[in-house]
């Protein structure tokens, strides 16, 4: 065991050293290609801070801690969206340090400007007791750096897929709301309840609609309205290039496209992986609306005191190992902005070809809905969602779970595959420690995907039982 670990670390050192070099080179390659195709030198997170430009509409405001804030200004409001510091501080790469040194000399750094502002955060002020103050009295000291996130065009970039499926959201009727798959009871008046399904990272609503929806009993189909959503940046949902895919943006789109659109007052939530973070945030923001929470493989890592939470979670999810393959893949897309974009350029832009080859090689015996979810996204969306939601939420989940434990009136059920190599089963036990009333079911011989795929009939029965027996915890 010790020898295998030593080999993994030694081989990984050399492989990731060369990946550092390749990502550094691809930075200049993509800047050149962007300039050629889009007539503009596009910013990235390799050089921080970037040169300030007056024409931009978003600026990053830095704070001490695990995140910075993006300031979006409109005529009536100033929005502060938290972004993970892992976007621009991902490790002690020698090339990254040299790049930052050059950038600090080349670009003028505005470090003297101090901003004081009153902030009422639409989500965080609900659950964080330390931040609860009267409106108008809450102030934080911030230093405005010269880093600017450019307002990118809404239309797909040259490196994104331009097929009719991936660009269907650009039609006027679709561009302002998420794609939602709804399975209605035959008699809508008999619908007793609503269930909202939230998929995980690199997935889509098909993860639910192709597996569970056909396998619910006739009784469930006649009593529940089943609602599966494509999250912002995935499937048929909008993939705006000007979005940083922050928690606020994801939640607001779910609220607008699901809760408001279908006039939901009470509903059950079923969420997988990344979706668990959004489900908990949704429960915090709408505590009285949640009837039950079912979480599959929640990415909750106990962060030691004194450690930057986002950085800690990134190293737990993507520890820079070459084995097992899932960890190597996670490390590749987490640590390397430009190599990750190359993967998207090769695979996502060719997803129709991958789908056709899969059908051909399997003689059309394999359903390819997972390929659709895995490949139908943009690098901008997946990159920012990974860092701002999965990594960036590392410092928030403690307070989310505490609030759910103390204030959200619902049953909580957790499922986790024993062989999950993406999110270890210890994460679910940690949730149980934080929320003692939660029930944890560990499924033997199942991993991150097969916890649902392959056991959909059994899982459909388990969900029906949860909904039928959901009860009020607090009186």
- Concerning whether 273 is annotated as a catalytic residue, the answer is yes
- Concerning whether 351 is annotated as a catalytic residue, the answer is no
Task: Give the Cα separation of 258 and 178 in Å (integer).
Answer: 8
Catalytic residue of the set 420, 428, 430, 470: 420
Nearest to 58 by CA among 167, 145, 119: 145
| SS3 letters across the chain | CHHHHHHHHHHHHHHHHHHHHHHHHHHHHHHHHHHHHHCCCCCCCCCCCCCCCCCCCEEEEECCCCEEEEEEECCCCEEEEEEEHHHCCCCCCHHHHHHHHHHHHHCCCCCCCEEEEECCCCCHHHHCHHHCCCCCCCEEEEEEEEEEECCCCCCCCCCCCCCCCCCHHHCCCCCCCCCEEEECCCCHHHCCEEEEEECCCCCCCHHHHCCCHHHCCHHHHHHEEEEEECCCCECCCCCCCCCCCCHHHHHHHHHHHHHHCCCCCCEEEEEECHHHHHHHHHHHHCCCCEEEEEEECCCCCCCCCCCCHHHHHHHHHCCCCCCCHHHHHHHHHHHCHHHHHHHHHHHHHHHHHHHHHHHHHCCCCCCCHHHHHHHCECHHHHHHHHHHHHHHHHHCHHHHHHHHHHHCCCEEEEEEECCCCCCCCHHHHHHHHHCCCCEEEEECCCCCCCCCCCCHHHHHHHHHHHHHHCCCCCC
Catalytic residue of the set 146, 237, 273, 331: 273
What do you get for the CA distance between the two ends of the chain, in Å? 52
Tokens standing for 291?
A: 């009837």
Tokens standing for 406?
A: 């103390």
Task: Give the Cα separation of 252 and 271 in Å (integer).
Answer: 17
- Concerning whether 409 is annotated as a catalytic residue, the answer is no
Tokens standing for 379?
A: 């690098």
- Concerning whether 199 is annotated as a catalytic residue, the answer is yes
Give strand pairing partners of 146.
none
Catalytic residue of the set 199, 250, 286, 338: 199
The catalytic site residues sit at 199, 273, 420, 448
């Amino acid at each position: 065991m010790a020898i295998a670990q030593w080999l993994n670390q030694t081989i990984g050192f050399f492989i990731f050293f060369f990946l550092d070099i390749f990502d550094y080179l691809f930075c200049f390659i993509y800047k050149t290609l962007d300039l050629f195709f889009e007539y503009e030198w596009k910013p990235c997170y390799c050089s921080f801070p970037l040169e300030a430009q007056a024409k931009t509409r978003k600026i990053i405001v830095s704070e001490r801690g695990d995140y910075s804030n993006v300031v979006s200004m409109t005529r009536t409001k100033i929005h502060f969206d938290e972004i993970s510091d892992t976007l621009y501080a991902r490790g002690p790469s020698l090339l990254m340090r040299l790049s930052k040194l050059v950038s600090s000399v080349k670009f003028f750094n505005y470090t003297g400007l101090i901003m004081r502002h009153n902030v009422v955060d639409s989500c965080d002020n609900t659950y964080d007791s330390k931040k609860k103050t009267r409106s108008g009295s809450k102030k934080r000291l911030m230093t405005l750096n010269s880093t600017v996130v450019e307002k990118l065009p809404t239309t797909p970039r040259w490196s994104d897929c331009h097929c009719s499926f991936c660009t269907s959201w650009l039609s006027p009727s679709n561009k302002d709301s998420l794609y939602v798959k709804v399975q209605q009871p035959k008699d809508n008046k008999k619908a007793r309840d609503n269930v909202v399904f939230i998929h995980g990272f690199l997935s889509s609503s098909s993860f639910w609609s192709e597996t569970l929806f056909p396998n619910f009993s006739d009784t469930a189909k006649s009593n529940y309205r089943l609602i599966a959503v494509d999250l912002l940046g995935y499937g048929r949902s909008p993939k705006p290039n000007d979005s940083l895919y922050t928690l606020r943006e994801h939640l607001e789109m779910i609220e607008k496209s699901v809760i408001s659109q279908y006039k939901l007052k009470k509903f059950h939530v079923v969420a997988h992986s990344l979706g668990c973070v959004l489900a908990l945030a949704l429960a915090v923001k709408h505590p009285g609306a949640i009837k039950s929470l079912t979480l599959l493989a929640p990415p909750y890592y106990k962060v030691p005191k004194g450690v930057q939470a986002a950085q800690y979670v990134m190293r737990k999810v993507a520890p820079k190992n070459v084995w097992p393959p899932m960890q190597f893949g996670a490390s590749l897309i987490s640590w390397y902005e430009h190599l990750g974009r190359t993967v998207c350029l090769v695979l996502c832009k060719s997803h129709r070809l991958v789908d056709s080859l899969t059908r051909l090689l399997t003689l059309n015996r394999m359903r390819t809905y997972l390929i659709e979810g895995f490949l139908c996204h943009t690098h901008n969306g997946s990159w920012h969602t990974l860092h701002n939601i999965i990594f960036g939420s590392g410092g928030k989940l403690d307070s989310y779970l505490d609030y759910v434990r103390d204030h959200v009136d619902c049953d909580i059920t957790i499922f986790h595959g024993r062989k999950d190599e993406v999110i270890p089963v210890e994460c679910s036990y940690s949730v149980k420690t934080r929320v003692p009333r939660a029930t944890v079911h560990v499924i033997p011989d199942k991993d991150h995907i097969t916890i649902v795929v392959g056991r959909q009939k059994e899982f459909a029965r388990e969900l029906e039982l949860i909904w039928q027996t959901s009860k009020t915890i607090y009186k």
